[in-house]
Structure 1
Amino acid sequence: MKLRSFAHYALMAILLVLAACDDKNETVNIGAIYNLTGGLSSLGVPSSEGAALAVEALNERGGILGREVNLVLVDGETNPDVISEKTQELIEATENMPVIIGLTGTDTALAAARVAAGNKRVFITSGATSPLLPTDVPEYLFLACYGDNVQAAVAAEWAISELKAKTVAVLYKSDMTYTKLIRKYFEEVFKEKGGDVVLSQGYTADSLNDVAAGLPDADLIYFAASPDDVIPGITAIRGTGYTGPIASGDGFDIDENWGKLPTEDNAFFTTHADVSASNTNSQMIAFRKAYASKYPDQEPSAFSALAYDAVMLMAEATEKAGSLDAEAIREALSTLQDYQGLTGTISYKNGSRIPVKSVALFKVEDGKEVFVREITPDSVPAP
């Protein structure tokens, strides 16, 4: 009887060890939804590349919790309905996937995050900057990027202090949440600092040329645009004879597409990080080297770096939680402090799921983006 009992427990111990080994060898899946096609693909494609690079880096250093990491990438097609459907399909088809990352637009991120939260999955948006998102999707939605109220405040303060602008005409896409919000925050801070908003005019893709032609005289034009409207919009504005400064947010971060305007030298925008070869930060140098090896014909963008950070935030929170349980990861992420990311030091403070970060200011010279400096605003309007 004792012999049988010993054999029984020995067998059970072996099975437990094997089960633990099998569990340890299970792949950790990170869901990723990016707009690889459609109007936001210029941001979605480089974002997906940054996420894939981060997964490779994680696996080179041993994965997450000792397990191999796999990126499960789907195309949102810049369509909120498609995104909602694909998010649900992704969740149903993928095991060991407590976190989904992705998207660079407010409306598209909201579509995915609501489905993720409904299934109790953490969603980290790498580039959707609406500070209202965490309120729209309580508990489960985190931003890896700053909020639009932060970057708009930087642009307004800089326009007043550096450009000495006293008047501004604001042009914004009227059917896009991102553009409507960022222009609201910009106008609020510009007025607070003593500036005068002489016009705040919405446009659609069909009315862009006509609206640009009707802009009044102003020291500055703040053009809150979607990425696909930047080139045609600036072309239309310059076509009226206006030669003054044009400013915007990270919708202007369109990388090599500025080459379509080779003589443009008076456009400025706020974005998330300096990922250029001139950045001497050792972490950025290593990122650029790895990026060049994987994508030899492409330059990384700030959105590539943001997606890289989103993956690494997921890994950091999972290691801190010591578990693939989504609730444990959510709790660990909510208290993460001073994470040194490519796009800055990331901390979630006082229950906020929007990180405290600085803003990068760029200008356009000869069809290229040129880093000016990092700025933290004096004051930030409420979401």
Structure 2
Amino acid sequence: MFFRLSLGLLPALFLSGVIGVAVPFNSHCYADESLVLGALYNSSGTQAGLDIPSSQGARLAVEQANRNGGVLGRPVVLEIRDGQSKAEVVKVKTSELLDATPEPVALFGLSDTDLVLAAAPLAARSKRVFLTSGATSPQLPAQVPEYLFLACFGDNVQASAAAEWAHKDRSARSALVLFDSSQTYTRLLQGYFQARFKQLGGEVVAQRSFTSTDLKQSLDDLPDADVVFLAAESPHDIRTAISMIRDAGLTCPIIGGDSFDSEGLWNKSSDVDEVYFTTHAYLGEDNQNPRVIAFRRQYVEAYPDSVPDAFAALGYDAARLLMESIERAKSADPEEVRRALADIRQFDGVTGTMSYPKGSRIPSKSVSLIGVSGGKLHLVAEILPKRVPPH
């Protein structure tokens, strides 16, 4: 019989950097039959706004699996480590997970490309899958061959969706591109947007790079354009940049990527309008998708003080993908699980129906475009881009 971890204890346990979920005893005294999944999420630092919801989604998936008899009739133990949003810490915590007894069947988590590149090579060296729930660089699988998979779309897909929507639906023919040059995610995202927008016949009138430390100086004296593409990562930078764009007199649409889908970013932004962003799923109360309705209800029941976002759904889907792969492999052997994951087709996730095309470790799935009006979010469109720039 499994115990239900008291949700009131979760914040303290998570901040300590170690937490075991859905096990019948102390997390370091496993029964021989337990299946261990290792996860890396950041409960502190710049990535906390994305990773805490994602880790909660993962916990929910494992708790549900255990209430239904586990996987292959065995209880699932979820071991989470806090990477503190620092690559050097992520490396240490990844090694801790891989050196534990019993060894994890697979590892997953993280929402940042650079942090994934700190963790995934270590997993591959131990011949373990690393499934990133939220890091969207389409270059990642080539950087860590065979063992690194995405549970999310690639940046070239979401950037193309943004460019096609701006060009077709908003008749944008000129774009101003602003991006954080210190992050791999933002550099790649803006590059893919520019490539697709130009393919469509659009003109990039200017591009400005910035970092968190020189944001205000870098975004001074902005030229006019039909649309602004803003590739920023931290909530603080996103809020500051949007305010500066509006203060400069630009009233055109501002479009961003999935980093805009951060819990708490918009709930105090009643003056924000004409802001849009691409993300993995729309989880608003008005979404009538049965899978979204069920997930939203279950998540709120488990975490009454939280509202689920796309990253919560990504963590949930990533944990379920790995458990589904173990079921399909009929084995907890890491190599069998890797092969089963690569063969996943038509997996019904909260963030969409996913399939890994033959030879690819990035799933094919659509992009949700969300609008922000008066601080409220609404679904604008579901987009499957017609053309995507190469990796």
TM-score normalised by L of structure 2: 0.90
Q: Is 1:90 the equivalent of 2:97?
A: yes
Indicate the structure (1 or 2) with the bigger Cα radius of gyration.
Answer: 1
SS in structure 2 at match of 1:256: coil
Aligned to 1:171: 178
SS in structure 1 at match of 2:45: coil
C-alpha distance in 2 between matches for 1:38 and 1:25: 36
Aligned to 1:244: 252
Cα-to-partner distance string for 1:295-342 (whole Å, 9 max, x where unaligned)? 011100100001100001001110111111110000111111111111
What is the number of equivalent residue pairs in this alignment? Answer: 361
Identify the range of structure 1 (352-361 vs 342-351) with the bigger mean alpha-carbon deviation.
Answer: 342-351
Unmatched segments (≥5 aa) in structure 2: 1-29
- 1:214-253 aligned at under 5 Å gives the runs 214-228=221-235, 229-253=237-261
- 1:282-297 aligned at under 5 Å gives the runs 282-297=290-305
Change (3 A) 1:184 1:94: farther
Q: 2:354 aligns with which of 343, 346, 370?
A: 346
Deviating beyond 2 angstroms after TM superposition, the runs of 4 or more aligned structure 1 residues are none
Q: 1:278 aligns with which of 286, 290, 300?
A: 286
RMSD: 1.3
Aligned to 1:380: 388
Q: 1:189 aligns with which of 189, 196, 213?
A: 196
Once the two structures are TM-superposed, the CA of residue 24 in structure 1 deviates from its matched residue by 9.0
C-alpha distance in 1 between matches for 2:383 and 2:263: 20
C-alpha distance in 2 between matches for 1:48 and 1:95: 21
Unmatched segments (≥5 aa) in structure 1: 1-22
C-alpha distance in 2 between matches for 1:33 and 1:188: 33
Once the two structures are TM-superposed, the CA of residue 96 in structure 1 deviates from its matched residue by 4.2
Once the two structures are TM-superposed, the CA of residue 241 in structure 1 deviates from its matched residue by 2.2
Q: 2:107 aligns with which of 97, 100, 103?
A: 100
The answer on whether the counterparts of 1:116 and 1:122 sit within 8 Å (CA) in structure 2 is yes
Q: Is 1:324 the equivalent of 2:349?
A: no
C-alpha distance in 1 between matches for 2:220 and 2:311: 32
Amino acid of the structure 1 residue aligned with 2:100:
A
C-alpha distance in 2 between matches for 1:184 and 1:273: 23
Aligned to 1:113: 120
Amino acid of the structure 1 residue aligned with 2:65:
L
C-alpha distance in 2 between matches for 1:314 and 1:350: 18
Aligned to 2:25: none
Q: Is 1:67 the equivalent of 2:74?
A: yes
Q: Is 1:199 the equivalent of 2:206?
A: yes
Q: Which has the higher helix share?
A: 1
Change (3 A) 1:307 1:189: same
Amino acid of the structure 2 residue aligned with 1:143:
L
SS in structure 1 at match of 2:44: coil
SS in structure 1 at match of 2:177: strand
SS in structure 2 at match of 1:330: helix
- 1:31-180 aligned at under 5 Å gives the runs 31-180=38-187
Once the two structures are TM-superposed, the CA of residue 29 in structure 1 deviates from its matched residue by 1.1
| Identical amino acids, percent of aligned pairs | 48
Identify the range of structure 1 (138-147 vs 228-237) with the bigger mean alpha-carbon deviation.
Answer: 228-237
Aligned to 1:10: none
Identify the range of structure 1 (56-65 vs 90-99) with the bigger mean alpha-carbon deviation.
Answer: 90-99
C-alpha distance in 2 between matches for 1:130 and 1:238: 29
Aligned to 2:264: 256
Once the two structures are TM-superposed, the CA of residue 214 in structure 1 deviates from its matched residue by 2.7
SS in structure 2 at match of 1:255: coil
Once the two structures are TM-superposed, the CA of residue 380 in structure 1 deviates from its matched residue by 0.7
C-alpha distance in 2 between matches for 1:344 and 1:227: 26
Once the two structures are TM-superposed, the CA of residue 26 in structure 1 deviates from its matched residue by 1.6
Q: 1:365 aligns with which of 359, 373, 376?
A: 373
Amino acid of the structure 1 residue aligned with 2:335:
E
SS in structure 1 at match of 2:265: helix
C-alpha distance in 2 between matches for 1:179 and 1:169: 15
Identify the range of structure 1 (351-360 vs 216-225) with the bigger mean alpha-carbon deviation.
Answer: 216-225
